Amino acid sequence: QVQLMESGGGSVQAGGSLRLSCAASGVTWTVNCMGWFRQAPGKAREGVASIYRETDSTSYADSVKGRFTISQDSAKNTVYLQMDSLKPEDTAMYYCAADLLLGATCGRLVDTAFDHWGQGAQVTVSS
């Protein structure tokens, strides 16, 4: 029904920048919330950022606030995650997620609320 494809991952040195993209295809008009989650080996999956597409309302985890920016290009059904001032602790597999959610739920960054997931993009930050 909804397919998500991440791109833009890679390896950078601490302090560098990367931009991830998540392109949605299929029945995209049923999706009003898109978010980014990440998971490092041996760690639980955690929310990074979300955007409520109807209003452009955004939410961020405290650990990335001020460094990461989520945005959207509604015409392209694409969401971006601009990551600046990257730290080694940002190293993880980053997953794009999407679903039809209430705005308040979208902002909570709870992974179990999302039914559609991308394949993941690896981000590695070296010191």
For 92, the 3-state DSSP assignment is: strand
Residues 36-45 pLDDT 10s: 999 999 999 9
Element (H, E) at 14: none
Task: Give mean pLDDT, residues 54-83.
Answer: 96
Residues 61-73 pLDDT 10s: 999 999 999 999 9
Task: Give mean pLDDT, residues 54-80.
Answer: 95
C-alpha distances in Å from residue 82, one per residue of 26, 34, 102: 24, 15, 24
Give dist(CA 56, CA 27) in Å, integer: 20
DSSP character string of 107-125 = HT--GGG--EE---EEEEE
